[in-house]
């Protein structure tokens, strides 16, 4: 077979939606699996709705996901002449004809057929005008319509949805060029898929109904159509089409939430595709990018609607976080802390060491990257607040100020400052003063992290280091003294 060429063709009228990202991913996987070419094409012919900043955002999201393209981005807005030439060629072959109906006329007809509960379809007013009649109307703005044969049927074999046939009489004579000279989606897409030698069109099932029209256009120009593969719709948990109502729908929003690109990719891959079982005969859910490339096939894509399970994505993200290799972990944590403004300016080797120890300590508990800059903040910076709930719960005892002060003093001289000795030191103090060790542990945890829940206290102490620990315990003691009500 000749070289496989696929394309992802977003319209820059919004951010990259998870559905679009899944389409991009399947095209990318298919191309990489077959050693083919992945083309990126920006379908920006709708000048009113397309925005350059959305193109930038879409490219950024694709890059963040690691979906690299081999050709493009091509911009449809730069190819308008080509589309007009194709339309004229179709007219020359009598597969297209000028239509002089005005938007008002069409609107009135549509309203009438709706009132009579007839499905609206262009009625062919201009379809069979004679040359003289056309000439007489030439002063009116004209659109170009495709002439759908009035008998017969059009069919194609979809790789996912199987053999699809429609009666031509159910298709309308669709517009190719609007009266303002703008090409329609159908015209641009067929011209481009032809010129870009696209072998497989892999796109959302919402385009299934467009495909017979495009197949007819290929017939009209006597070119073989590409192979089509339509991907199942993505639904929300309530089985309605996924929308903002359900939660975040753009790739950028998930990035903001601290989702890892590798987790999102893996999650999206499973929205419609069932990977083959693993060597142990078990179903696989966690697959690396390379494993996906190796295993991907259109035959294993299902036509049943896929449900976007937000909980599963959260779970998958924490799985990925937990298993992230150290270097990658540090790279993503650094980025996260930088955007939260708490990454030190030029950390020296010691500081780097400490940041890494902190990241590793948080790694197994984190569900997303935000957990490093929010709940885990105190492990990276001295600028953190005490969570009022934690304070309310664990800083109740009147004697705590003095206890924390004393703990600070003892820890400041402790040798060695390690897990065993720090714990022994705290427990000894608690026992001497007749308070439960748990009470002191909880109070110290709030002092060191600002939180009620954090990794093990003594591990936190080691990450922070002796001086910081003593300093924070004193700071907490001061706070308690300042805020205690005189009894």
Closer by beta carbon to ligand GLU, 11 or else 356: 11
Is residue 159 part of the annotated active site? The answer reads: no
Residue linked to tokens 């419609």: 272
- Among residues 244, 312, 338, 396, the one annotated as catalytic is 244
Min dist. Cβ of residue 207 to ligand GLU (A):
5
Q: Which residue in 101, 189, 234, 298 binds ligand GLU (CB under 6 A)?
A: 189
Per rule CB under 6 A, is residue 9 in the interface with ligand GLU?
A: yes
Closer by beta carbon to ligand GLU, 9 or else 264: 9
Distance of CA 29 to the CA centre of its chain: 16
Gap between the Cα atoms of 286 and 264, Å rounded: 11
Closer by beta carbon to ligand GLU, 23 or else 266: 23
The pair of structure tokens assigned to 340 is 């939260």
Q: Render 316-334 in DSSP notation, one character per residue.
A: HHHHHHHT--HHHHHHHHH
Q: Which residue in 229, 187, 154 sits closest to 79, CA to CA?
A: 187
Closer by beta carbon to ligand GLU, 186 or else 474: 186
Per rule CB under 6 A, is residue 160 in the interface with ligand GLU?
A: no
Q: Which residue in 25, 28, 29, 43 binds ligand GLU (CB under 6 A)?
A: 43
Gap between the Cα atoms of 325 and 267, Å rounded: 19
CB atoms within 10 A of CB 340: 16
Instruction: Give the burial class of 152: count Cβ atoms within 10 A of its Cβ; 0-12 exposed, 13-18 middle, 19 or more buried.
Output: exposed
Min dist. Cβ of residue 39 to ligand GLU (A):
11
Residues 284-303 that bind ligand GLU (CB under 6 A): none
Question: Do the Cβ atoms of 89 and 177 come closer than 8 Å?
Answer: no
> How many positions of this chain bind ligand GLU (CB under 6 A)?
7
Instruction: Give the burial class of 441: count Cβ atoms within 10 A of its Cβ; 0-12 exposed, 13-18 middle, 19 or more buried.
Output: middle
Residues 191-230 that bind ligand GLU (CB under 6 A): 203, 207
Gap between the Cα atoms of 461 and 419, Å rounded: 8
The pair of structure tokens assigned to 177 is 């060029």
Per rule CB under 6 A, is residue 73 in the interface with ligand GLU?
A: no
Q: Binding string, 10-39, against ligand GLU, x = CB under 6 A? A: xx----------------------------
Question: Do the Cβ atoms of 471 and 477 come closer than 8 Å?
Answer: no
Closer by beta carbon to ligand GLU, 228 or else 386: 228
Residues 304-363 that bind ligand GLU (CB under 6 A): none
Gap between the Cα atoms of 378 and 450, Å rounded: 7
Binding segment toward ligand GLU, per CB under 6 A, in 4-12, 96-104, 293-301, 309-317: 4-12
CA dihedral defined by 19, 22, 26, 31, rounded to 10 degrees? 100
Strand-pair category, 162-167 with 153-158? antiparallel
Closer by beta carbon to ligand GLU, 10 or else 73: 10
Min dist. Cβ of residue 201 to ligand GLU (A):
6
Per rule CB under 6 A, is residue 42 in the interface with ligand GLU?
A: no
Min dist. Cβ of residue 43 to ligand GLU (A):
4
Interface residues with ligand GLU (CB under 6 A)? 9-11, 43, 189, 203, 207
Which sequence positions are flagged as catalytic? Answer: 244
């Amino acid at each position: 077979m000749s070289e496989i060429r696929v394309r992802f063709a977003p319209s820059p009228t919004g951010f990259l939606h998870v559905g679009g990202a899944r389409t991009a991913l399947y095209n990318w996987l298919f191309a990489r699996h077959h050693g083919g070419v992945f083309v990126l094409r920006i379908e920006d012919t709708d000048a009113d709705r397309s925005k350059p900043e959305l193109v930038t955002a879409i490219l950024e999201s694709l890059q963040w996901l690691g979906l690299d393209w081999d050709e493009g981005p091509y911009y449809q807005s730069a190819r308008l002449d080509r589309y007009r030439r194709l339309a004229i060629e179709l007219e020359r072959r009598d597969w297209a004809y000028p239509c002089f109906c005005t938007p008002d006329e069409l609107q009135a007809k549509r309203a009438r057929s709706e009132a009579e509960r007839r499905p609206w379809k262009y009625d062919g007013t201009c379809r069979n005008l004679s040359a003289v009649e056309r000439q007489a109307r030439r002063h009116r703005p004209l659109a170009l319509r495709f002439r759908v044969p009035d008998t017969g049927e059009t069919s194609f074999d979809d790789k996912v949805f199987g053999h699809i046939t429609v009666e031509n009489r159910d298709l309308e004579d669709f517009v190719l060029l609007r009266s303002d000279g703008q090409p329609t989606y159908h015209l641009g897409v067929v011209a481009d898929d032809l010129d870009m030698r696209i072998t497989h069109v892999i796109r959302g099932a919402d385009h299934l109904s467009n495909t017979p029209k495009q197949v007819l256009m290929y017939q009209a120009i006597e070119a073989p159509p590409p192979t089509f593969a339509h991907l199942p719709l993505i639904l929300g948990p309530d089985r309605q089409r996924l929308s903002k109502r359900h939660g975040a729908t753009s790739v950028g929003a998930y990035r903001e939430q601290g989702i890892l690109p590798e987790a999102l990719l893996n999650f999206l891959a499973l929205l419609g595709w069932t990977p083959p079982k693993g060597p142990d005969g078990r179903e696989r859910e966690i697959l690396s990018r390379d494993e996906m490339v190796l295993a991907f096939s259109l035959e294993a894509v299902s036509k049943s609607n896929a449900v976007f399970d937000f909980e599963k994505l959260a779970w998958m993200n924490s799985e990925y976080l937990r298993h992230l290799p150290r270097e990658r972990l540090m790279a993503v944590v650094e980025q996260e802390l930088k955007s939260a403004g708490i990454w030190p300016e030029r950390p020296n080797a010691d500081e780097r060491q400490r940041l890494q120890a902190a990241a590793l300590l948080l790694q197994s508990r984190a569900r997303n990257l935000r957990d490093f800059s929010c709940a885990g903040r105190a492990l990276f910076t001295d600028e953190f607040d005490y969570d009022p709930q934690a304070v309310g719960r664990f800083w109740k005892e009147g004697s705590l100020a003095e206890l924390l002060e004393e703990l600070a003093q003892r820890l400041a001289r402790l040798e060695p400052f390690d897990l065993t000795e720090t714990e022994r030191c705290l427990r000894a103090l608690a026992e001497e003063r007749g308070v439960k060790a748990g009470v002191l542990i909880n109070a110290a945890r709030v002092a060191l992290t600002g939180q009620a829940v954090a990794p093990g206290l003594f591990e936190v102490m080691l990450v922070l280091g002796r001086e910081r620990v003593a300093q924070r315990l004193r700071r907490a003691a001061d706070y308690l003294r300042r805020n205690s009500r005189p009894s």
